Structure 1
Amino acid sequence: MKKSTTLILTAVALATNVAFAADQPIIGLITKTETNPFFVKMKEGAEAEAKKIGAKLLTAAGKQDGDTATQIAAIENMVSAGAKTILITSSGDAIIPTVKKVQAKGVQVIALDSPFEGADALFATDNYKAGELIGQYAKAALGGKKAVIATLDLFPGHPVGAQRHNGFMKGYGLPAMDAKSNELSKDAAVVCMADSFGDAAKGQTAMENCLQKNPDINLVYTINEPAAAGAYNALKKAGKEKGVTIVSVDGGCQGIKDTTAGVIAATSQQYPLKMAAMGVAAGADYAKGGKKASGYVDTGVTLIAGKSVAGVDSKDTKVGLDLCWGNK
């Protein structure tokens, strides 16, 4: 009897485990790169949420920002592995045909951070608002001085790059396209526009080129904090770092440290961990109930400033460090 009972209990346990495995949500996370601290934190958030709710998480990343070929292959591989939800920070619109193909098979595709056409939902910072906040800060910080502006952008056609740039222009009070445009606003006050690809070394080169065009630049907008660090290096090399205000977006720990040190005057902080956690939770909900996420969910943005300025709401760098992502 004991042997029979043991066999029955073992069989029940195995059946239960098989049933659990069959019901376990499989969710894919694809980021632009695996080295940028923003995406490292995003992956951490997804892993923590997956563990919490008992989901299986598959992860992949492009080799660099703009590497859509690797992202496309990852989508296909994850769906073949059973993923019913794909979370992706898109590197470009080349992924859209593949997205549509897997959606036709019943796969939910959620955009994190970077919007693209056809995503079922978007969990992201309001990047236009992030740009507006640093534009407003820069206007107040210059205190009536004539602005001679350089913008170190991402690369042509990217929606996040356009939203941050155009938001900055609007916040500063310059002519600006709306949040739906992928084109960059221009004005006579902007004497140099250059692509940095969000990279420190390329940001430094871009700033050096801008200074050659106009050595009187006194305000620099940068797409992110690595580009801001590169811009500062170029300015310091030229002996101009004390006369130029740099503003940026991201809120990574190194960026907040740079804000504390005066390298960056102010930055708009976003929250990648929250984006990913919400995405994983939505994937589990879809697996269990069949209801897809939809629309845009704002995951928040906060202006962090080294020094506060009158008329612009901001938090100090201590708050920024408490909430930052990356190595503290």
Structure 2
Amino acid sequence: MEKATESAAKAKGWKVMKAEAKTPGDSATQVTAVENMINNKVKAIVLNPANPTALVDVVKKARDKGILVVTVNTNLTPIDAADGTFATDNVAAGKLIGQWAAASAPSSPRIGMLDFDLSDGAAGGRHNGFLEGYGTDVKSPLVAGTALTKGTVDTGQSAMENLLSAHPDINTVYTINEPTAHGAYTAIKNKGLAGKVSLVSVDGACTGVEDVKAGIIGATAMQFPSRMGQQAVEAVAAYLKDGTKPKSGLTDTGTVLITDKPVAGVESQTSAWGLENYWGTK
């Protein structure tokens, strides 16, 4: 996404000022970066917010200075704190994998959920969408347990180990993203449960699609980060041309379910298609 955004901006002859959060959730670095951009009198900011609320005040400060601020990948809370958001409809993505999981479920389903901070727009949307798609809620007896992760392989593994220790009958697992799913699979395999627990996720990165092909992940909802960056740059171009702002709220950049075990009523593509359309590096 970052490369696509930068490439699209430079192709228009723009100067690009960049800054990155040091770790997931590192909003302090982003606040400082936005302050620096304001002081440097930038015309627009494309922001992938590390926290949905911590950047609202500094974004307001930028917008009050006439700087266009659009978010990508995830939104601020409230979503109209930015001029526009270009991202996956994470509720829809979660709903896709929830529908697939429900259609693929064993006769006595027991669900485990590996989340990220649910105040995060993407994490909350995927979590709620999965439950909606499955046709249940987090208080249902179908849901054996939930655990927070940091969206990484190692925290996915440790959280899954803990869930399996408390609820060894778990046979369906929702994961916030594919690194978490990969870590969870390691815990499942180490327990001798490979092939007995179905994993679903969201991302569509190359490694995640390869995990679908290998049978590690049953289904994943592929998103398209390059579209997010490219559409954000086009929104900036329109603003610089004549002051036109993007529509407020979410512009959905699309989602496709990737699985090699299709189910009736849920449109999907195979891992072979996914490996031709993935994002990220091998």
Alignment TM-score > 0.5, same fold: yes
Deviations along 1:265-319, whole A, 9 cap, x unmatched? 0000000011001111211221221222222211000000022122221100111
- Assess, with a 3 A threshold, how the Cα gap between structure 1 residues 97 and 127 changes in structure 2: closer, same or farther: same
* Alignment correspondent of 1:65: 24
Output the CA distance in 1 between the equivalents of 2:110 and 2:183.
19
Output the CA distance in 1 between the equivalents of 2:159 and 2:217.
17
**1:146 is the counterpart of 2:100:** no
Output the CA distance in 2 between the equivalents of 1:51 and 1:120.
22
Output the CA distance in 2 between the equivalents of 1:218 and 1:70.
40
The alignment's TM-score, normalised by the length of structure 1, stands at 0.82
Pick which of 130-139 and 45-54 moved more. Answer: 45-54
Q: Give unpaired runs (5+ residues) of structure 2.
A: none
Question: How much has 1:51 moved relative to structure 2?
Answer: 2.5
* Alignment correspondent of 2:97: 134
1:263 partner SS: coil
Alignment match of 1:297 (pick from 251, 258, 276):
251
Q: Which amino acid aligns with 2:159?
A: A
Question: How much has 1:148 moved relative to structure 2?
Answer: 0.5
Pick which of 188-197 and 221-230 moved more. Answer: 188-197
Output the CA distance in 2 between the equivalents of 1:315 and 1:120.
33
Alignment match of 2:260 (pick from 306, 309, 312):
306
Output the CA distance in 2 between the equivalents of 1:260 and 1:97.
44
Question: How much has 1:82 moved relative to structure 2?
Answer: 2.6
Q: Give unpaired runs (5+ residues) of structure 1.
A: 1-41, 176-184
Rg: which structure is higher?
1
Pick which of 225-234 and 186-195 moved more. Answer: 186-195
* Alignment correspondent of 1:13: none
Pick which of 128-137 and 100-109 moved more. Answer: 100-109
The answer (yes or no) to whether the contact 1:87–1:112 under 8 Å persists in 2 is: yes
Deviations along 1:113-148, whole A, 9 cap, x unmatched? 1111211101111100000000010111125x1210
Matches within 5 A, 1:96-107: 96-107=56-67
Output the CA distance in 1 between the equivalents of 2:233 and 2:35.
19
* Alignment correspondent of 1:173: 135
Matches within 5 A, 1:265-276: 265-276=218-229
**1:164 is the counterpart of 2:126:** yes
Question: How much has 1:149 moved relative to structure 2?
Answer: 0.6
The alignment's TM-score, normalised by the length of structure 2, stands at 0.95
Pick which of 112-121 and 224-233 moved more. Answer: 112-121
- Assess, with a 3 A threshold, how the Cα gap between structure 1 residues 163 and 186 changes in structure 2: closer, same or farther: farther
* Alignment correspondent of 2:6: 47
Question: How much has 1:187 moved relative to structure 2?
Answer: 2.2
Superposed CA RMSD: 1.2
Deviations along 1:30-71, whole A, 9 cap, x unmatched? xxxxxxxxxxxx111112211222222222111111110001
The answer (yes or no) to whether the contact 1:55–1:284 under 8 Å persists in 2 is: no
Question: How much has 1:153 moved relative to structure 2?
Answer: 0.3
Give the count of matched residue pairs: 277
2:85 partner SS: strand
* Alignment correspondent of 2:47: 88
1:55 partner SS: coil
Large movers: runs of 4+ above 4 Å: none
1:94 partner SS: coil
Output the CA distance in 1 between the equivalents of 2:26 and 2:17.
19
Deviations along 1:232-291, whole A, 9 cap, x unmatched? 000011111210000000000000000000000000000001100111121122122122
The answer (yes or no) to whether the contact 1:152–1:195 under 8 Å persists in 2 is: yes
Q: Which amino acid aligns with 2:69?
A: V
- Percent identity between the aligned chains? 44
Output the CA distance in 1 between the equivalents of 2:139 and 2:244.
42
**1:242 is the counterpart of 2:201:** no
**1:288 is the counterpart of 2:259:** no
